[in-house]
Amino acid sequence: ARMGRTLVELFYDVISPYSWLAFETLCRYRHIWNIDLRFRPAFLGGIMQQTGNKPPAMLPKRGEYMLKDMKRMAKYYQVPLHVSPDAFQHIMGTSSLTAMRFITAIDMTSPQYLEPLSREFWMRFWSQHEDISQPENILAVARQAGLSAELSQKALEMISSPTVKDRLKDTTTEALKYGAFGMPAVVAHYGGEPHLFFGSDRLELLGSVIGEKWLGPVPS
């Protein structure tokens, strides 16, 4: 982190809608707060498995609430997240592992594309309700995010390599070490120690802990 700046790490998976809300909000605050924002693509499935956490929708009443909550949050946070009635079947029927490995490969080779690529994955899955697990769809997402065909092809070939698999595994383990049990997991390194915040609705609290002023989800 630069002098006097707080390092804020965002551990996220593109299958998590609340991660998208936290991602966009932190992107907006990056130039307002005295922070260095670091994106940490990790695997939500691994975190759930390691902690014994269960998807919220497995409790029907909570699932019902969550659909409404996501709609309200999307509007409040001004993020184009469109919630379909079958959103949970959509999540449960999709593995984000290949997508997160692809994002990891790009982070390792061309990190300047990490932000637009991650955003495009959320757009495709949560705005357009399209598949993000198949190679041809992943390449379409990459193209949309401005990556060259050559770069995308190279990243796609890298996803089966131990280097990429290990990197994603390590990042996921790191999130677990900070105490993550779901996503998004935001870790602020402040006052010589890491502070974990879970969810997209704790950014106000994050600001308070690091001595920054919260100006709402869309600071003008």
Q: Is 16 marked active-site? A: yes
Domains and CATH numbers, the chain: 6-210 (3.40.30.10)
Residue ranges of E strands in 127-207: 185-190, 193-198
Q: For every one of its 220 residues, what pLDDT tens digit does the chain have, with 9 covering 90 and above?
A: 556 899 999 999 999 999 999 999 999 999 999 999 999 999 999 999 999 999 888 899 999 999 999 999 999 999 999 998 888 888 889 999 999 999 999 999 999 999 999 999 999 999 999 999 999 999 999 999 999 999 999 999 999 999 999 999 999 999 999 999 999 999 999 999 999 999 999 999 999 999 999 999 999 8
Pair 22, 200: CB distance under 8 Å: yes
Segment (H or E) for 36: strand 35-41
Alpha carbon distance 118, 82 (integer Å): 17
Asked if 132 and 141 count as a contact pair (C-beta separation under 8 A), the reply is yes
Q: Which residues pair with 7 in a beta bridge?
A: 36, 189
Q: Is the separation of the CB atoms in 159 and 102 below 8 Å? A: yes
Question: How far does Cα 171 stand from its chain's mean position?
Answer: 13
Instruction: Pick the catalytic residue from 16, 19, 96, 118.
Output: 16
Compute CA 147 distance to the chain's CA centroid, rounded to the nearest angstrom.
19
Quick one: DSSP state of residue 5? P
- Judge contact between 138 and 101, C-beta under 8 A: no
User: What is the rounded CA–CA span in Å between residue 122 and residue 124?
Assistant: 5
Q: What is the pTM of this model?
A: 0.96
How far is Cα 119 from Cα 14, in angstroms, rounded to an integer?
Answer: 8
**CA distance readout (Å), 193 to 84, 118, 138, 187, 206:** 40, 28, 37, 10, 14
CA atoms of 57 and 60, how far apart (whole Å) = 6
Task: Tell me the C-alpha distance between 180 and 16, whole Å.
Answer: 14
pLDDT for 3: 65
